[in-house]
Amino acid sequence: MEKNIILDIDTILNKEFNIDFKGYSPIEVDTFLDAVVKDYDGFQQLILELKNQIAFLQNANDGLKERIVDLETKLAQLEENNANQSPVVSNLSQVDILRRIARLEQEVFNRK
């Protein structure tokens, strides 16, 4: 983008015009060029601020991408651990249920 900019503040400010017999008013030209210089200065400041903001946001985005990768890795590990533990947990709960049933049956038969 900056490669397309032909003029800068110093070029505009130091530009000297030839004064002809029926030329432009030097005061009017100076006033106009002062306004142009002020605009260019504002544009350059805005460009610098936007570049800084882009760099900040890119760094933040990179950090978030790294966090996503870390969290996806942890999620995959947790899912794998959960898949490995589920049969053990269900087997334990089935064993507990069978023990409770056996204990209840004994109590019922002992009461008769």
How does pLDDT run across 14-63, given as a tens digit for each residue? 877 777 777 777 788 888 888 888 888 899 999 999 999 999 999 999 99
d(CA 99, CA 66) in angstroms, rounded, equals 49
d(CA 101, CA 91) in angstroms, rounded, equals 15
Q: pTM of the full predicted structure? A: 0.54
Q: How many CB atoms lie within 10 A of CB 29?
A: 14
Would you give the end-to-end CA distance of the chain in angstroms? Answer: 95
